[in-house]
Amino acid sequence: MAELTIGYARVSTDEQDLTAQRDALLAIGIHPDRIYVDHGLTGSDRNRPGLREALAACRAGDTFAVTKLDRLARSVLDAHQIANELAERGVKLNIGGSIHDPTDPMGKLLFNVLAMIAEFEGDLIRARTREGMKIAKAKGRLRGKQPKLSPRQEAHLVQLHAGGEHTMSEIAELFSVGRSTVYRALERARKKAGTADS
């Protein structure tokens, strides 16, 4: 079986665009069908459907590619776990066009430095966000995020999903929202149903 390169792209919010990451992955020769994505999910959240699918698609000898390490993980621990999992399965890691071998001492050092920088950048962003929210709250401008769907739309979305005739992607497209918004709406409905049953 021929060796493949599997691509992974992620953005933290539904408003962000994946085009630049997709283009960069296509530029290194990855087939569009082998690019897995997560929309509206942070790098600190390991429970990402696109990442799970991308890792599951990798076989020994394949290469797993991301444009930047922070697209894959936002903590040194998480980056190590993913890199170790790939190394154990004989999968190479391509970060921004450079192949990193976590089993090689120099590759390991470079990977550690990249992982620490990604974690540091994530911490800075979170600190700036908290600071910005504090200032906005003090000035009375923080109102909270407006929900993407009205309660009526959310109820309709849950009904469509329960009917089983539409995929997550189709439902997301129908309501002009990201798949993460659909997941959150379904999760809220499940919790509500669980509370009603108890």
Q: Which residues pair with 9 in a beta bridge?
A: 37
Torsion sign (Cα): 115, 73, 16, 149: negative
CA 150 to chain centre: 25
Q: What own/partner pairs with CB < 8 Å and gap ≥ 24 does 120-126 have?
A: 121/70, 122/43, 122/44, 122/70, 122/74, 122/75
Q: What is the DSSP letter of 148?
A: S
* Catalytic status, residue 198: no
| Residue in 12, 44, 75, 150 annotated catalytic | 12
User: How far are the Cα atoms of 5, 37, 58, 60 from residue 2, in angstroms, in the given order?
Assistant: 10, 23, 12, 10
Residue type, 98: S
The DSSP letter of residue 168 is: H
What is the Cα–Cα distance from 25 to 65, expressed in whole angstroms? 7
Catalytic positions, please?
Answer: 12
